[in-house]
Amino acid sequence: MSPNIKSIASKVKAIGKRNPVYAEISQWVGDLLSETVQAAGKFRLPELNLDQAPSQEARSQGRSFLDPEGLSLDWEQTVALYKHLVDLLKTRENGRKQAKGLLQALAKDQNGIPKLMKAVLASDFEAIEAAAREFKIDPPVLTLLLRLALRPALLNVSQAVLERLDLNQWTYGHCPVCGSAPKLADFSGEGGIRTLHCSLCETAWPYPRLRCPFCENDNREDLSYLRAESEEGLRVDLCSRCGHYIKTIDLRELPGPIIVPLDDVATWHLDIIAQENLENREFDNRQG
């Protein structure tokens, strides 16, 4: 279920209390997220041909339900939301300077669809970074606004598809709905059951703790984790075989729910820790 404005505000407050360094950025992202919740009612339901979904056999072999690049989304409302989010950015420091470039980045393809929004659906991060350089925009800001503008439509897609899926039968590390990679993981319940959260449509699905979601490696010698100093409930799980990592939030120690865009920005220090340690390969071989 998509978080409501109340749960977003509660999470923002909890993040600021846990780590004051993130108080301002989490409040800003929380405000933008609340705008996406308020705008959701304006979006028409996506045109999904669910009767032509992959067979059970195809899904058992790892084929996701949909190809995000082929989705027919409500592009009019998506673009309108993006422009609204850009207007809100103008109130921040250097916001007006970046706003011009953010609007220039909305160039459309021959079908009238913004190219960079299609790049988000295709996980083409090189195209997004190239556009950020061209229009002199901070890449994280461009990526965030594009994702948030797409969010109401993609949550509608996820909810429609999940009515037809048994997530307990999905054993892969990529999203069962759209095939994208996970952005975050959490532990919850007795024994710390692991759940992955999609970077694109925010679908959540169960996944074994001692397995890399990116290469499916389950060799314990290759799997490890790191914690930030003096922070309970946060860790980053690493795989030395493929060189990927995933940030993990322990909901037995920290309040939920997981709100992917918000929890992602409030754990940027874990990205730095993971990238530094994967480059140096100087982390402990601890599993769990």
Q: Which two tokens stand for residue 58?
A: 């195809």
This model's pTM is above 0.85: yes
Higher pLDDT residue, 67 or 94?
67
For residues 68 and 158, state if they share a domain: yes
Strand partners, 250: 187
Instruction: Flag whether 236 is in a domain.
Output: yes
| 8 A C-beta contact, residue 262 and residue 183 | no
CB 246 within 8 A of CB 184: yes
Q: Residue 2 pLDDT more than 80?
A: no
Q: Which of 44-48, 210-214, 229-233 has the highest mean pLDDT?
A: 210-214
What's 188's domain CATH number? 3.90.1670.10
231 and 196 assigned to the same domain: yes
Q: Are residues 228 and 120 in the same domain?
A: no
The pLDDT confidence band at residue 69, using thresholds 50, 70 and 90, is: confident
Residues 95 and 180 in one domain: no
Q: In the listed set 151, 167, 183, which residue is the last one of a domain according to the structure?
A: 167
Per-residue pLDDT band for 194 (boundaries 50, 70, 90) equals very high
- What domain count does the chain have? 2
At 288 the pLDDT is 45
pLDDT of residue 62: 86
- Domain housing 249: 169-280
Angle subtended by helix axes 75-89 and 95-104, to nearest 10: 160
CA–CA separation, 40 and 34 (whole Å): 10
Domain shared by 94 and 192, yes or no: no
pLDDT at 158: 93
Q: Read off the pLDDT of residues 124-158 as tens digits, 9 standing for 90 and up.
A: 999 999 999 999 999 999 999 999 999 999 999 99
pLDDT at 56 > cutoff 80: no
What are the start-end ranges of the H helices in the chain?
5-18, 23-39, 56-60, 75-89, 95-104, 115-121, 125-134, 139-162, 260-265, 268-280
DSSP helix/strand/coil, 55 = coil
- Do residues 239 and 97 share a domain? no
Domain limit, last residue, from 167, 187, 206: 167
**Tens-place pLDDT, residues 26-47:** 999 999 999 999 999 999 987 7
90 part of a folded domain: yes
Q: Identify the domain boundary among 167, 199, 220.
A: 167
10 and 105 within one domain: yes
Of 243, 245, 225, 244, residue with least CA distance to 235: 225
